[in-house]
Amino acid sequence: RPLPRWKYVAGRFAGLLAAVFSAKGLMALMHVGVMLLKGWVPETFFFACYPFMALKISVATALALFFSLFSTSQVSSVVFTLFFWLLGHFGTELEFLAEKARNAAAGLGLKAFLLLLPRLELLNYKDLIEAPSAGAGMLLARGAVYAVMYAGACLALSATLFSRKEL
């Protein structure tokens, strides 16, 4: 029977996440196993990084799904996804460049572009461990909400884009 296109997009996203999370889980088990063999003593805060890795993966997967529907070739889809992934880790630096831009139009254009990029530095758990602050938990919660909303927006755009395509 016919399936609504938004359900197809949601299923595709869930399938991609299942595949990536199973591979990531296997890698995490191997990583912890090797460290335990080398005499590592587990610390509880170490394992708290995995949910934030999962959120980053979810955002990247939603972006990849969007770009796979947006672009005409697989290569351009991969390039756009990698481009957004890399720049998504440098939001603070790009904001600094936008503020220091001598040309007002360039600064404004960069700020507008920043609105499209995912702010993946909000999910850098290691930064809060290395330089703890009083509001670290709130920052991580804000980053988690942001990641869910960004991925949701990408999926909504993907479903809209896919619903307008002819099969």
Residue-level pLDDT at 1 = 66
Number of Cβ within 10 Å of residue 83's Cβ equals: 13
SS3 118: coil
The residue whose two tokens read 């993907």 is: 158
What are the tens digits of pLDDT across the range 74-107? 999 999 999 999 999 998 899 999 888 888 898 8
Residue-level pLDDT at 141 = 85
Residue-level pLDDT at 130 = 66
Q: Of 164 and 44, which is predicted with more confidence? A: 164
What are the tens digits of pLDDT across the range 119-158? 998 888 776 666 666 666 777 788 889 999 999 999 999 9
What are the tens digits of pLDDT across the range 17-76? 999 999 999 999 999 999 999 999 988 778 888 888 999 999 999 999 999 998 889 999
Distance CA 166, CA 120 (A): 34
Residue-level pLDDT at 2 = 83
Residue-level pLDDT at 128 = 66
The answer for residues whose C-beta is within 8 angstroms of residue 69's C-beta and 6 or more apart is 9, 158, 161, 162, 165
Residue-level pLDDT at 134 = 61
Task: Specify burial of residue 10 (Cβ count, 10 A radius: 0-12, 13-18, 19+).
Answer: middle
Number of Cβ within 10 Å of residue 18's Cβ equals: 10
Residue 159 pLDDT class (50, 70, 90 cuts)? very high
The answer for residues whose C-beta is within 8 angstroms of residue 129's C-beta and 6 or more apart is 45
